[in-house]
Every structure is written in C-alpha cells, then in structure tokens.
Structure 1
C-alpha cells in the first residue's frame, strides 16, 4: 500500500444476512460504498477489498476475521478500516467518513 492509502475491507456473502431482510446485498453495498467514498474524498487514496466470509482469500488476517464474522453471528456486510469495525449490517456513511477523516488527518 502507498503512503496515505487506506484499505477498506467489506466482509460479506452472496446470501443476505438472515437478520438483514430488505437490505442490499453485500456486493451492492460494496459498490455503493466505494462510489460514495470516491465522491466524498476525490483526492484521497483508498483501496476497497471485498471478502466473501465463506470463501476468504489466503491472507491469514482476512481468513481469521471472516471466521469471526461467522462464529460471532455478526450482521454482514461488516466494514473494517485498520482492524476497526466501522459498520455492520447496514453501514452508515457518516461513521465510515468520520473514521476515514481521522486517519487521513493523522497521516498528513
């Protein structure tokens, strides 16, 4: 990752969260969130990563967190920035934007 670049990881699944009826899918939330962040922070660098909790990549930290989402019955999608959960179920932009602003201000 490059300097001042933040990774935003969205953990989700193809199937909707059983407790999240009438919510968008994890993939739809991922696309919506990526577009919203790019609009709000056009001059900032970030990477969006989607992790399927049932088929996580080989990266140990992502596998471990995907397992945690399942074992703890978290509402997904779960949005994580710098190992901090900033959204669960139906994530709120205000919370995510606030966390990103804190990180980018610290990095300057």
Structure 2
C-alpha cells in the first residue's frame, strides 16, 4: 500500500475549552502529538499544523472547519487526520495511530 503524507490538524484556542479544564492546552496537545507521531513512525513524513479556531489561516476548508468547531461547541482541541475527526477534547493516541496506519504508516 502506497502511503501518502498524512495531514494532521489540531484545531484549538489559547483558552482551554470550558469542558476541558485540567486537560493540556491545544498548543500542548499539538506539541505532544507531534513528538508522539515522530517517535512512533520514524522517518515517515507527515504534516502537522496547529490552527487557532478564532484566527484561522485564509485557506477556505480550514476556515470552514474552524467555524464549525466554534458553532457546534466541539470540545477542543479537535484532531483531524486528512478529513477524519480522530479526537475531541482529550485525544487518544491509540485512535490517532490507528487512523495513521489506515493510511499506510508503520510503527518503527
């Protein structure tokens, strides 16, 4: 199976979500995930990006999803791999790794 570089997006905000008190911030989750994916899948490229839901970049799809997170009161951080939501509020590594492996990633 040929592997395409996965795009991992972490949507969040500076302020911790009201339902997520005592959990890491969205930025901390982004840093933790980047390190965990790099360790689990060494030398397998992936793109990871943190997106502030209140000031997203101009890319239309990203702006649309950021607005959805706000409008639907989703628990953030929300983790997307390509177009699949794999975590909300307190993402689980097992779920994230499982989705990456569906895209051809192999543990190192």
Give the TM-score band, short-chain normalised.
over 0.9
Aligned position for 2:91: 91
1:23 aligns with 2:19: no
Aligned position for 1:73: 73
How far 1:5 sits from its partner (Å)? Answer: 1.0
> Once the two structures are superposed, what CA deviation does each residue of 1:30-83 show, in whole Å capped at 9, x if it has no partner?
000000000000021101111000000000000000000000000000000121
> Once the two structures are superposed, what CA deviation does each residue of 1:4-47 show, in whole Å capped at 9, x if it has no partner?
21110000000000000100000000000000000000021101
SS at match of 1:19: helix
- Structure scoring higher RCO (CA < 8 A, sep ≥ 6) equals 2
SS at match of 2:104: helix
SS at match of 2:19: coil
TM-score normalised by structure 2 residue count = 0.92
For 1:30 and 1:96, the matched residues in 2 are separated by 13
Identify unmatched segments of 5+ residues in structure 1: none
For 1:98 and 1:43, the matched residues in 2 are separated by 18
Moved over 4 A (4+): none
Between the two proteins, the alignment pairs up a number of residues equal to 103
For 2:27 and 2:82, the matched residues in 1 are separated by 21
Identify unmatched segments of 5+ residues in structure 2: none
SS at match of 1:64: helix
TM-score normalised by structure 1 residue count = 0.92
For 1:35 and 1:82, the matched residues in 2 are separated by 19
